[in-house]
Amino acid sequence: MKLVVAVVQDQDSNRLSNALTKNDFRATKLASTGGFLRSGNTTFLIGVEDELIPKLLDLIRENCRSREQMVAPVSPMGGNADSYIPYPVEVEVGGATIFVLPIEQFHHF
């Protein structure tokens, strides 16, 4: 058994959640915030049997695509102003960051 931790952009969250439910994967959703852009993310915790990992990764890949987006930089509150860029920049957002962790024990009470 594995624990899959998938951090996805809020914009992809509902689509992924619906796909997981439709394909009989159970998940816990947690609100999270990205450190770089300080934008909203959703972190999914998904317990899954080893043989279903490829199917789960395909579902995440299909529903969480990266894209380019213009973002206004966050001001350097107390930081070094030399590296601050005062105009919007285009960055890649979306997609998913996935961690697959081994589970030694699982209990359901």
- pTM of the model as a whole: 0.74
- Answer yes or no: is 98 within a domain: yes
Identify the pLDDT of residue 81.
54
Count structural domains, the chain.
Answer: 1
What CATH number is given to the structural domain containing 59? 3.30.70.120
- Answer yes or no: is 96 within a domain: yes
Identify the pLDDT of residue 88.
72
How crowded is residue 97: how many other Cβ atoms within 10 Å of its Cβ?
A: 12
Strands (DSSP E) contained in 38-84 are 40-48, 66-71
Identify the pLDDT of residue 108.
83
Dist. CA 90–CA 76, nearest whole Å: 18
Domain that holds residue 32: 2-71+87-102
Percentage helix, strand, coil for the chain under 3-state DSSP, each rounded to 5: 30, 40, 35
- Answer yes or no: is 80 within a domain: no
- Answer yes or no: is 76 within a domain: no
pLDDT tens per residue across all 109 residues of the chain: 999 999 998 888 999 999 999 999 999 999 987 655 566 789 999 999 999 999 999 999 999 877 666 666 655 555 555 555 567 766 656 678 999 999 999 888 9
- Answer yes or no: is 48 within a domain: yes
Identify the pLDDT of residue 25.
96
